[in-house]
Structure 1
Amino acid sequence: MLELLEKAFMTAIGTVAITQKKGEELVAELRDKFKLSEDEGKHFVDRIQSMAKESRDKVQQMAEIEVNKVVDRLGLVSREEYDRLLKRVQDLEARDSN
């Protein structure tokens, strides 16, 4: 189940990356078409890249929230909980063997 969620998450990030690449191609085309200066083109590209990064960050946050909801719904333990329980079991086993 977690593997499926991971694949969905990576697909979302990949989609955003593809969108960014297409955006850069569009920017180059617009710069040529509208005769933007190098500085204007760079500024425009920087703004587009900043917006793409914000979108990626939002997708990542939303994916993490959804993954956490699924983990809670399925009753899965977090890595922290697992590590804490493992240490507790190891401590109890060590105490019993003495």
Structure 2
Amino acid sequence: MAESSKALMQVNIVAADHPVWHGTAKSVTIPASEGEMGILADHEPVLTVIKGGTVSVVDPAGERHAFEVSDGFISFDFNKLTVAVERGRDVVRTEGPGIE
């Protein structure tokens, strides 16, 4: 059981005016300014700028969650990932115009 918890990370996706999503994940893919970047548990610490696009989160059950985000940054350290953006929304559960 300890082995499975070691392969997980805590994720917080926050927009300037509201929390977008938080939970536990097996992997996260982000639209980094240098190109798409995948992050797994125990990744080396990283702080990088992200561009507008889709953040994809795979939860412990293997379910994929997708979030449309604007420009921002990510910080990853000690299996805690923070995605901070100006605007963000869950693309599956939210209706309405996209992020510009």
Sort the TM-score into its range (normalised by shorter chain): under 0.3
Larger radius of gyration: 1
Instruction: With the length of structure 2 as denominator, give the TM-score of the two structures.
Output: 0.18
Structure with larger RCO (C-alpha < 8 A, sep 6+): 1
Instruction: With the length of structure 1 as denominator, give the TM-score of the two structures.
Output: 0.19
